[in-house]
A and B are shown apart, each in its own frame.
Chain A
């Protein structure tokens, strides 16, 4: 079916944000329909941003909170990818292995990552180790499922051709299996990165000494709506940047897909 390509005009986005900003300013500052205790006026949000960026809030500056959160996500995410992707590939390649591993996997899979938070806290306390464990869980399941699905989605005749040409097992894995499964692996990584980020913020909200979730928690305790807005914006921007970085990595590692 033919879908007409239509680009959203850029001015519309600018227009929308301008309208939202004006409405925000008018409702909170001019008419005060929304009380500052419920949602902060733009001026206060700007001051809160300056405060956290320059003097710091909740024991650290914004850049330190961001770095702390990002570091934990990358640790857990990398560990999950390093273990999950090969496991998924092996499950995709060997039906016997799949049959053996799948039951345990099916038991763990329906439990959402956020539900691991209390268990991780019981096991490891409120420190960074518990966060990394939770993030690991958040990233592990999508990494396995998508690597597995990626192998299963490889065209059978590609595999038959490789076998007919008598390639060794190692070569089959390197030249057929991994490149063939790569698109879906990256889909999985993108999903799991978002899940990691959400999970980390939740973990930090429940108990942490630093990080963006901790900023949100502290702002919520202090009833500081302006800082809540700044924290939420920081969560969104950091999450978006990490997703973009992964997208760039995806294009770099699959040059044949352009």
Chain B
């Protein structure tokens, strides 16, 4: 972290004060929530207390809701996520690298890519439903459309910003297009690609939730919709917490990967 930029003019916080304030903030958050819920200002059905949500969360892990327990919903969501995200990486990264190397491909694909990028991933829902019904294909298509652009863009940028010296050296040594891409561009763009994977996974996970809210018959988004239909705020909130935890875990995993790669390269 950079040196303290403190406009207000107060000194840096000691660790003790920081900890005390953080704990106070944490407690205040739950206290306000609890107070509003317990005071009866809002009906219990619409705002359960934190404890009730926690109990519901625990209950959902062993009693099935709409057919599955929370873990089973999460597992089926994660399967779809892995399929959509995996496809996006497998197609997007090579495409980005190729576009970074072959100018004609860049010129031909970029306009189309830029136009399609503006279609919000969620707008694919009607076609996903039309083409795949509520099967696995629909959500995967939507996750793919959310996760694909960052993969392409970051691989492309990585390939464009490779040290020209490396490219020239490889060219002088007579590298083929294939070797140029796999042995020069790909290794050099790894940091950029991994940064892209993080964005891509985040968008993919969000799109998954959106997709499952509309076209699915299992999964964590489906649990939310059914909780909403049952007007059970505690189920909806439990689902949101589960989504938050998984999303956070995916990001933490990729962040660790990013840091390790950067460290090995002596960047970070």
Binding site for B on A (CB under 8 A): 1-4, 6, 8-9, 12-13, 15-17, 20, 38, 92-96, 99-104, 107, 110-119, 121-123, 151-152, 154-156, 159, 162-163, 169, 172-173, 176-177, 194, 197-198, 201-202, 205-206, 213, 216-217, 219-220, 223, 225, 228, 231-233, 235-237, 239-240, 243
Interface residue count on the B side (C-beta < 8 Å): 75
Tell me which of A2, A159, A205, A216 contacts B5 (CB under 8 A): A159
Chain B binding surface SS class: helix
Whether B106 lies near A104 (C-beta < 8 A) is: no
**B9–A163 touching, CB < 8 Å:** yes
Chain A's closest residue to B220 (CB) is A115
| A212 to B, closest residue via Cβ | B123
Residues in chain B within 8 A of chain A (CB atoms): 2-10, 12-13, 17-18, 21-26, 28-29, 46, 103-104, 106-112, 115-116, 118-127, 129-131, 160-161, 163-164, 205-207, 209-210, 213-214, 221, 224-225, 227-228, 231, 233, 236-237, 239-241, 243-245, 247-248, 251
Given A8-B106, A38-B131: A220 and B6 interface contact (C-beta under 8 Å): no
Decide yes or no: A197 and B5 within 8 Å by CB, A103-B29, A114-B210, A119-B237 being known contacts: no
Q: Are B112 and A111 in contact (CB under 8 A)?
A: no
Q: Which of B26, B108, B123, B205 contacts A232 (CB 8 A)?
A: B123
Q: Are A16 and B112 in contact (CB under 8 A)?
A: yes
A205, B9: Cβ atoms under 8 Å? no
Cross-interface CB contact of A220 among B126, B224, B239, cutoff 8 Å: B126
B250 closest partner in A (C-beta): A110
What are 12 residue pairs bridging A and B, where the CB atoms are less than 8 Å apart in the complex? A1-B161, A12-B107, A96-B10, A100-B25, A119-B240, A122-B231, A122-B233, A206-B225, A220-B130, A225-B127, A232-B124, A239-B118
Residue from A16, A95, A111, A206 within 8 A of B214 (CB atoms): A206
Out of A100, A216, A232, which one reaches B21, CB within 8 Å? A100
Measured between beta carbons, the chain A residues less than 8 angstroms from B243 are 110-112, 115
Cβ A122 vs Cβ B228 within 8 A = yes
Pick from B121, B123, B160, B221: contact of A231, CB under 8 Å: B123
Q: Which of A17, A116, A216 contacts B123 (CB 8 A)?
A: A216
Contact A156 B247 (CB under 8 A): no
